[in-house]
């Protein structure tokens, strides 16, 4: 039996694998589907970590590349500008001359948009501040009223007996005064010093009618 060459052995192995895959395609597909279903979270996490790692590697490569070539790039740009200064200036001059009206209009529209945006921002800012002040005043008034009511309730509760005693004393002190006034009022009516008019009104008369 002759010994197979490396190329022949690789070819036969590959053909054997392809035949196996072709023969067991449905079984392998189902196995792969079940594996994905079972390990979905793990595979998703692995994919996320892989992408994150690749992103970080790419960012680091770009950073290193930018850092390593920074001086060379600056020097190249400087030499290019120095060499082509007149050509570049002429290009921009022609471009401006050709598109002067369009550039002026674009500039005017840009500043108009900036102005309108600034005015709108100021309006919204003032509106927000106004609403904040109103809300603050409402809250302040509410807090003050709550404090005053609480203070009144506390004062009344604390001095309830004193206030009741004062009220009683006040009514006692003025009882005689009220009675004396009522007696004098009735006496004046009887003597004709006061006349009662219609609708419950009274008026004092002086001298003879």
Break the chain into its structural domains and give their ranges. 99-158
CA dihedral defined by 8, 9, 13, 18, rounded to 10 degrees? 0
State the pLDDT at residue 55: 94
CA distance 81 to 3: 68
CA distance 83 to 86: 8
CA distance 50 to 43: 10
CA distance 127 to 138: 16
CA distance 180 to 62: 107
- Which of 23, 43, 22 shows the shortest CA–CA distance to 34? 43
H-helix segments, 84-207:
85-98, 100-191
Burial class of 194 by CB neighbour count within 10 A (0 to 12, 13 to 18, 19+): middle
Per-position pLDDT tens, the chain of length 209: 567 788 888 888 999 999 998 989 998 899 888 888 888 888 888 889 999 999 999 999 999 988 888 888 889 999 999 999 999 899 888 888 888 888 888 888 999 999 999 999 999 999 998 999 888 888 888 888 888 887 787 887 888 888 788 888 887 778 777 788 888 877 777 776 655 443 444 444 444 44
Copy the structure tokens of residue 17: 């694998």
Read off the pTM: 0.31
CA distance 60 to 67: 10
State the pLDDT at residue 209: 40
Q: Residue 147: beta bridge partners?
A: none
């Amino acid at each position: 039996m002759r010994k197979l060459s490396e190329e022949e052995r690789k070819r036969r192995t590959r053909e054997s694998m392809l035949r196996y895959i072709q023969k067991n395609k449905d079984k392998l597909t189902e196995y792969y589907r079940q594996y994905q279903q079972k390990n979905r979270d793990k595979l998703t996490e692995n994919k996320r970590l892989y992408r994150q790692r690749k992103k970080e590697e790419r960012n680091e490569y770009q950073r290193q590349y930018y850092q390593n070539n920074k001086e060379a790039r600056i020097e190249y740009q400087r030499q290019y500008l120095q060499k082509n200064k007149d050509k570049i200036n002429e290009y921009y001059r022609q471009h401006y001359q050709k598109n002067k009206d369009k550039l002026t209009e674009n500039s005017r529209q840009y500043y108009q948009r900036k102005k309108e945006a600034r005015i709108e921002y100021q309006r919204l800012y003032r509106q927000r501040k106004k609403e904040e002040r109103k809300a603050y005043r409402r809250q302040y008034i509410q807090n003050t009223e709550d404090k005053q009511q609480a203070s009144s309730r506390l004062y009344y509760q604390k001095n309830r007996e004193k206030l009741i005693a004062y009220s009683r004393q006040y009514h006692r002190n003025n009882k005689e005064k009220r009675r004396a006034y009522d007696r004098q009022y009735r006496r004046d009516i009887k003597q004709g010093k006061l006349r009662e008019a219609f609708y419950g009104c009274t008026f004092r008369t002086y001298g003879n009618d």
